[in-house]
């Protein structure tokens, strides 16, 4: 075990969030709950990225009073990456939800096992 776990507790929380979302993906049978789990995973990633860019005692990267020294601002790159993540997660969530709507309209169920059972029956297996 490394020495920095206590200092990096925010990242540890981000990892716990990620794993909670991943466990939801694996263990839930309900499709909507799976999608919620996916979104929790996304939140963990954002928290991790945002925490990566933070530097103690520095302010947000918006130039004030014309001061342009590196020692004054936090790292702006992870903040930009979080934005990319949010946009992709919104799109993917909308796509998954629309697929779920179509599945529900067809099979009148959100339970994954039940849907696969009904599909099997349809195919005549």
Partner 1 sequence: MSRRKTDEEYRQTGAFRFFRWLSGSKDAYIDTVEMKPQTEAVETKEEEERREAEHKHAVEKAYDSNNRAIIVFNKIYRLVAAIFTVFLLVSLIYAVSYLPKIGDADNATSNEVARRYIENGVQETGAVNIVSGMILTYRAFDTFGETNVLFIATCCVMLMLMLDEKILEKMDGRDDRRFEPKSDPILKTMASFLCPVIFIFAIYILFNGHLSPGGGFSGGAVLGAGMIIYVNAFGFKNTQRFFNETIYKIAKISALCMYGLIGSYFYITGANHIANHIPLGKVGELISGGIILPINIVVGIEVACTMYAFYALFRRGGL
The least distance separating partner 1 from the CB of residue 30, rounded to whole angstroms, comes to 13
The least distance separating partner 1 from the CB of residue 5, rounded to whole angstroms, comes to 4
- Asked if residue 82 lies in contact with residue 49, where contact means CB atoms within 8 angstroms, the answer is yes
Please give the helix or strand (H or E) that residue 107 lies within, else none: helix 76-107
For residue 101, the Cα-to-chain-centroid distance in whole angstroms is: 21
The least distance separating partner 1 from the CB of residue 85, rounded to whole angstroms, comes to 10
Rounded to whole angstroms, the Cα distance separating 94 from 116 reads 22
Binding site for partner 1 (CB under 8 A): 1-5, 7-8, 10-12, 15-16, 18-19, 22-23, 26-27, 51-58, 60-64, 68-71, 73, 75-80, 83-84, 86-88, 90-92, 94-95, 97-99, 101-102, 108-109, 111, 113-114, 116-118, 121
- Asked if residue 79 lies in contact with residue 61, where contact means CB atoms within 8 angstroms, the answer is yes
Rounded to whole angstroms, the Cα distance separating 4 from 22 reads 25
Rounded to whole angstroms, the Cα distance separating 125 from 114 reads 15
The least distance separating partner 1 from the CB of residue 16, rounded to whole angstroms, comes to 7
């Amino acid at each position: 075990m490394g020495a920095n776990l206590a200092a990096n507790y925010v990242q540890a929380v981000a990892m716990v969030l990620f794993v909670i979302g991943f466990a939801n993906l694996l263990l839930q049978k309900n499709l909507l709950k799976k999608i919620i789990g996916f979104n929790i995973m996304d939140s963990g990633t954002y928290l991790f990225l945002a925490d990566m860019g933070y530097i103690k005692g520095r302010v947000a990267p918006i130039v004030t009073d014309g001061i342009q020294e590196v020692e004054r601002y936090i790292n702006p790159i992870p903040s930009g990456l979080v934005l990319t993540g949010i946009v992709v997660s919104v799109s993917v969530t909308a796509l998954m939800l629309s697929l779920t709507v179509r599945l529900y309209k067809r099979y009148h169920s959100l339970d994954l096992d039940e849907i696969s059972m009904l599909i099997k029956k349809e195919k005549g297996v």
